[in-house]
Structure 1
Amino acid sequence: MPISPSSSAQAARERVAQRLRDLRADAGITGSELAERCGWTHPKTSRLENARTPPTPEDIRRWCAACDAEDQAADIIAQSRDAESQYGEWRRKVRAGLKRLQDSYVELYQATEVFRIYSPTLVPGLLQTEGYARALLSANSRLLGIPDDSDEAAAARVERSRVIHEPGHRFVMLIEEGVLRYQLGDSDAMAAQLGYLLTAGALPSVSLGIIPSATRERVLWPQEVFHVYDDTLVSVELLSARVRVTQPSEIELYIKAFEELRAMAVYGAAARALVLKAIDALG
């Protein structure tokens, strides 16, 4: 069964739409009547009720007033905002700069005891060196068409990563072997990054697994980048957005996928050998 990273966000929107439908039904009015009371067209009512268009706070206030349920407006507005936060476009999230985005994760990191991270394309952020992070974040700035604050953002990323040295946290990280070959920055920056993997991978709190490219008969194909925070939240990184998965059934699916990927990885001396081979290949 394929994983749908946006389904949690859509399900949250649909729960908001269901509450609006229930209010209208409880008030005993039709969609056309509600539209007239709200001062908009009937098609808009239909779009809101079927979760095709997210309601604005003003839409919700008008809807509740039309149904004589003003006391429910604040709660539904809060629920709607939470639903929309589950799907966050990178362009919106980085308006204030990439450094601000790095800082926004600190509270979540401090509150998480067990991190599960799978990355098929990049060194996980918690294990990135400043040079590697700078090259990556500079490329992101160019792609998103925003001012390049990659120097400050890279420093902030390294600073937030100090959590791996703090007690009370455990990190289980998986990467595909190809990550060791995808060069970001110059050869010196990449060599420093690979060298740091050898150091960080030996920390007592860190389990670093590498899935060899030569793995035969894979039980699961490479997935998108995802992070599991304890057993309560999954963050999926897409090209255009980050998706927050909160439905227990979907979190369970991601954890199952993580364990299947983990079973194909090598650890310890075998993982170190793959990293050293990649360092040698840099010439």
Structure 2
Amino acid sequence: MSTDYQQAREALGVRLRELRLSAAGGRLTGPQLAQELGWPHSKVYKLEGGRQTATPEDLRAWAEAVGHPDAAEELLARLKGFESHIRSWRRQLAAGHRPVQDVWNLEVGRCKTIYAWEEAVIPGMLQTADYARHMFLRFADLQGSVRDTDAAVRARMQRQTWLYETGHRFHALVWEAALHALVCPPSVLASQLDRLMGTVGMDTVQLGIVPLSASLRIPTANGFWVLDERLVIAEDWHAELWLDDADSIATYLKVWRTLSESAVYGADAQNVINRARRTLNPR
């Protein structure tokens, strides 16, 4: 989690603690407040310590329980300011792409299950080094950022070891358009498609391809990742959006599952990949 985001959670926690200690009926201990709210007392301390993000319902209940219902609007305003956290590319890439990859590696390392949707590129967890190198170069040009390409590629390749660890599951959805996008030389894309073929059948990977001819229940849109159903990371041209509130996570999972209804898997997915591969080397 970013420093700005975490600082905002901690500041909210400090304010919650102030309200508990100045409760209208007299100072409340954490266990007393938890009992009043019907929560495990650990939740009180996590919220006060900035280790858990409160929901709007949590904040309203807290304000009522401490006898300061008028504080609810202030608390909700604080929450609204950071529950949808925007991490601008300009700020993130100030030191290059490698630090961004390191942050991703930490988050992925904490996960057991990942859901990913990519409509324009091959998911980073399944990229070849050459394909990843061209992606970093393209975005360095776009953002005018530091060219630490080799270090960034190594970090992304390091993350892929996650796929070979027992107990992990990567549910990847890719739109067929990404299989044809020449954001790299044809020879690099060909090798990338060969790599993608090899992931079909891995016990830690479920790869679905949404064919261009598939009927869609919703339009394809920006790529996003859901990590352990605790964090969503969505990308836009100006920033990454990091979301950990329950409503947003539920929405993105619903989007993923809706898109997955249009996907093909196994041999059918391999056929779509092969079709794209043949366009690069027609025979």
Alignment partner, residue 52 of structure 1: none
Q: How far does residue 86 in structure 1 lie from its aligned partner after superposition?
A: 2.0
Paired AA for residue 206 in structure 1 = V
Q: Determine helix, strand or coil for the equivalent of 2:195.
A: helix
- 2:233 is aligned, of 225, 235, 238, to 235
Task: List alignment gaps of at least 5 residues for structure 1.
Answer: 1-8, 27-75
2:248 matches 1:250: yes
User: Which structure 2 residues correspond to residues 1-16 of structure 1 after superposition, within 5 A?
Assistant: none
Q: Does the 8 Å CA contact 1:90/1:240 hold for their aligned counterparts? A: yes
Return closer, same or farther for 1:247/1:85 CA change in 2, 3 Å cut-off: closer
User: What do residues 12-66 of structure 1 show as CA deviations (whole Å, max 9, x unaligned)?
Assistant: 89x96xx69x99xx9xxxxxxxxxxxxxxxxxxxxxxxxxxxxxxxxxxxxxxxx
Cα deviations across residues 232-268 of structure 1 (Å, max 9, x unaligned)?
Answer: 1111111110011111011111111111101110000
Q: Are the aligned partners of 1:98 and 1:150 in contact in 2 as well (CA < 8 Å)?
A: yes
Alignment of 1:1-283 (within 5 A): 83=82, 86-216=85-215, 218-283=216-281
Q: Which amino acid aligns with 2:172?
A: M
Shift of residue 84, structure 1, vs aligned partner: 8.4
Which stretches in structure 2 are left out of the alignment for 5+ residues? 23-74
Cα offset for 1:168?
2.1
* Maintained 8 Å contact 2:94/2:146: no
Give the superposition deviation at 1:83: 2.6
After TM superposition, the score normalised by the length of structure 1 is 0.70
- Check the 8 A contact 2:95/2:146 in 1, yes or no: no
| CA shift for structure 1 position 269 | 0.6
Matches of 1:185 and 1:224 in 2, distance apart? 20
Q: Check the 8 A contact 1:138/1:149 in 2, yes or no.
A: no
TM (norm. structure 2) is: 0.70
Amino acid aligned to 2:272 = L
For the residue of structure 1 that corresponds to 2:117, the secondary structure is: strand
Note closer, same or farther for the CA distance 1:157–1:244 as it changes in structure 2 (3 Å cut). same
Name the SS for the 2:101 alignment partner: helix
Aligned letter for 1:83?
Answer: F
- Aligned-pair Cα RMSD in Å: 2.6
Structure-2 separation of matches of 1:258 and 1:155:
29
Contact kept in structure 1, 2:234 and 2:242, CA below 8 Å: yes
Task: Confirm or deny: 8 A CA contact 2:98 2:151 kept in the other structure.
Answer: yes
- Contact 2:84–2:243 (CA<8 Å) still a contact in 1? no
Runs of 4+ in structure 1 over 6 Å off:
none
Structure 1 contact 117–124 (Cα < 8 Å) conserved: yes
Alpha-carbon shift at residue 184 of structure 1 (Å): 2.5
Q: 1:62-116, CA deviations, whole angstroms, 9 ceiling, x for partnerless residues?
A: xxxxxxxxxxxxxx9xx88x93892100110111111121112122111111100
Pairwise CA distance, 1:202? 2.3
Paired letter, 1:233:
L
> Percent identity over the alignment?
31
